[in-house]
Amino acid sequence: MRALTPAEVLFDCEPQPAVLPPCDHYAGSEKLMKKSLALQAQLGPVFDITLDCEDGAQVGHEVEHAELVASFVGGEEDRFGRVGVRIHDFQHRAWRDDVGIILRHAKKAPAYIMLPKIRSVFDAAEMVAFIEASRCEFGIQKPVPCHLLIETHGALVEAFELAALPGVESLSFGLMDFVSAHNGAIPDTAMRSPGQFEHPLVRRAKLEIAAACHAHGKVPSHNVSTEVRDMSIVANDAGRARNEFGYTRMWSIHPDQIRPIVEAFSPRAEEIALAAAILLDAQRAQWGPTRHGDTLHDRASYRYYWSVLRRAHATGQAIPDDCAPLFAPASEA
């Protein structure tokens, strides 16, 4: 009998939950775009790059900036196909032009499109539908995943509905705008650590977004750390986001933040070794119950340990060679 893979047996014929590189790095100017792409070439596809049309474009020069962004997507410097774009928000006149210019002129489709300042499911659904229609119009074969930025009251209220939208791959939390939207009712200390993890309204928002994502197999992406000198603060922010709030991805706004974020979200070597041993035993047992040491395991724990290996793979960690068949497509397993 052929050895079945985790993807075939652990998810009841449903798609596996999405796994993305753990860091989403933003670049708005041509200089920073080139610098970010060079760093990605050095480190590998352990972080994504988001080329920013929203905050990167000068007022009145949105078209030129979108054309600049399109010139990098799928180009020679986009070595791994892990470059996305952020377009303007639903209320801005340029968002449809951003989509058209990028999908028409990029050498290949972006890895994803970030939709900022989402206010409701209706806004998001219209934008997602327009992107899908545009990619069909331009002959792009595969759908372009959409990421949604949750930073308004309306979006937070509808977080579960937003996470459930077809075509949506990830929800991100926009801390600064969310705090500002409370018009002084939340102090500015909640825009940075440790306040961002302690204020009840901010904690609630982070937890709602993470819970919505995990309920629908999407990726929760944590807000930026504003610290650009002391990387131990960035590492601590990433660790708290991962371990206390259930986030599996985090934004970066400075190149020095990328490594500590990736490290914080990467499984440790001992976690990888344990996951590999348990899953290989499970595969040999045709995914029936097994015992590892003094602990019994079944498909519930197998799903957990499979997520460990998938995260290890996404963060460029070394995985035992004998685990390669676990990642094989069904036709190759």
Looking at the fold, whether 205 and 86 belong to one and the same domain comes out as: yes
Percent residues over pLDDT 70 in the chain: 98
Out of 41-50, 90-99, 144-153, 324-333, least confident range: 324-333
pLDDT, tens digit (0-9, with 9 covering 90-100), for 9-41: 898 777 889 899 999 999 999 999 999 999 999
Looking at the fold, whether 172 and 31 belong to one and the same domain comes out as: yes
Looking at the fold, whether 253 and 280 belong to one and the same domain comes out as: no
Looking at the fold, whether 62 and 129 belong to one and the same domain comes out as: yes
In a domain, 15, yes or no: no
Looking at the fold, whether 125 and 235 belong to one and the same domain comes out as: yes
In a domain, 4, yes or no: no
**Crossing angle for the helix pair 269-284 and 299-314, to the nearest 10 degrees:** 130
Looking at the fold, whether 176 and 300 belong to one and the same domain comes out as: no
pLDDT, tens digit (0-9, with 9 covering 90-100), for 264-312: 999 999 999 999 999 999 999 999 999 998 999 999 999 999 999 999 9
298, two tokens: 């079944």
Domain finish residue from 212, 239, 265? 265
- The reply to whether 204 sits in an annotated binding site is no
Closest to 252 in 3D by CA, of 242, 262, 240, 239: 262
Looking at the fold, whether 101 and 184 belong to one and the same domain comes out as: yes
Out of 145-159, 219-233, 295-309, 319-333, least confident range: 319-333
Mean pLDDT value across the chain:
94
The position carrying tokens 């998001």 is 124
Q: Are strands 219-222 and 83-86 parallel, antiparallel or unpaired?
A: unpaired
pLDDT of residue 316: 87
pLDDT of residue 332: 45
In a domain, 44, yes or no: yes
Answer yes or no: is pLDDT of 242 > 90: yes
Q: Are strands 83-86 and 47-52 parallel, antiparallel or unpaired?
A: parallel
Domain finish residue from 213, 241, 265? 265
Answer yes or no: is pLDDT of 56 > 70: yes
- How many separate domains does the chain show? 2
The CB density around residue 43, as the number of other CB atoms within 10 Å, is 14
In a domain, 272, yes or no: yes
Read off the amino acid at residue 145: P
Query: Once rounded to an integer, what is the mean pLDDT over residues 79-88?
Result: 97
| Spacing of C-alpha 244 from chain mean position | 18
In a domain, 108, yes or no: yes
- The reply to whether 151 sits in an annotated binding site is yes
Looking at the fold, whether 69 and 131 belong to one and the same domain comes out as: yes
pLDDT of residue 91: 94
pLDDT of residue 58: 81
Closest to 206 in 3D by CA, of 166, 253, 174: 174
pLDDT, tens digit (0-9, with 9 covering 90-100), for 134-189: 999 999 999 999 999 999 999 999 999 999 999 999 999 999 999 999 999 999 99
Residue 93, helix vs strand vs coil: coil
Bridge partner list, 149? 172
pLDDT of residue 333: 41
Domain finish residue from 236, 265, 294? 265
Looking at the fold, whether 35 and 97 belong to one and the same domain comes out as: yes
In a domain, 3, yes or no: no
User: Which residues does 19 contact at the CB level (< 8 Å), separation at least 6?
Assistant: 219, 248, 307, 310, 311, 313, 314
Answer yes or no: is pLDDT of 75 > 50: yes
Looking at the fold, whether 28 and 40 belong to one and the same domain comes out as: yes
- The reply to whether 12 sits in an annotated binding site is no
State the residue range of the domain holding 65.
23-265
Looking at the fold, whether 203 and 141 belong to one and the same domain comes out as: yes
In a domain, 8, yes or no: no
Kindly tell me the burial class for residue 225, based on how many C-beta atoms sit within 10 Å of its own C-beta (0-12, 13-18, 19 or more).
buried
CATH number at residue 260: 3.20.20.60
Looking at the fold, whether 257 and 280 belong to one and the same domain comes out as: no
Distance from C-alpha of 132 to C-alpha of 117, rounded to nearest angstrom: 19
